[in-house]
Amino acid sequence: MLFDEAVQVLAASVIPWAGIPTGAQELALRARQLATVLHGFAAPGRAYARAVRARWQVGRWAARLVRHTRTGQIRPPAGSALAAVAAARDNRGKLLPLRTAATELLNVVRPTVAVAWFVAFAGAALHEHPRWRERIAGGDGAAAEAFVQEVRRLYPFVPVLAARARCAQDVLGVRVPRGGLVMLDVHGTDHDPAQWPDPDRFDPNRFLQGPMDPDALVPQGGGDVSTGHRCPGEGVTLTMLAVAVRALAGLTRSFPSQDLRFDLSRIPTRPRSGVVLANSGG
């Protein structure tokens, strides 16, 4: 399954990059746990219970990594994420609390694994749009970048994003009280026909016509990165997806019959099959 493979590949990339020492067996375990946290963070029932347990497990793991780095039992490379969070200090010059530092470490690792959801959608889109697959496999870099953007627009990681207002404020002419619930309609914004003609059609050409309005494309949050709720890793996500799309476009694989539907009431959502690829001869 492409989704499961993407989880493992992304974890195998980011965990060593972050300076975290781990063997193959533990790496596979942590990859599964991180994916479980993401899979169940907004799901009721057993999925949520599994996510809570996995969050506790990776939290203890991250805290142990930070603690062992501070005591010298682990010596991550200078400049790595683990080294940085272990040495980080607050505005009074004190080391960050262990739990806070562990959370910051996970805030680097976990979102990287989350890109697996977009990779699964990209794999389905490559199958459904073979002409684009051929262009990308032929080395058309602009086509790859446009394809990735259209995957993020059409297939959102989350349908909505919600937050509580920290203070009373005016939001586009609407008075929001302190503690009021504000929701960003991710799917609706990315499918607004005023911005995206024929919005349910997959068409990467939309992103080959010139600069886009960032407020019209919000799969990873809205606003400016420095002042809004836009993911600071959006640019990295685009790069990782472009690499994945180019690799997938060059594969010779068959695409067995499967269920590629996805549920917009599910957060996060992905193709139900996880996108199954098979050897072309099998």
10-35 residue pLDDT tens:
999 999 999 999 999 999 999 999 99
Per-residue b or e along 67-77, where b marks 16 or more CB atoms closer than 10 Å to that residue's CB: ebbeeeebebe
Q: What's the rounded mean pLDDT across residues 88-108?
A: 94
Backbone CA torsion sign across 201, 207, 210, 213 = positive
* Bigger pLDDT: 251 vs 151: 151
What pLDDT sits at residue 281? 53
Q: Is the distance from CB of 112 to CB of 93 less than 8 angstroms? A: no
- For the entire predicted model, the pTM comes to 0.88
> Span 256-282, mean pLDDT?
83
pLDDT band at 282 (very low <50, low <70, confident <90, very high): very low
pLDDT at 228 > cutoff 80: no
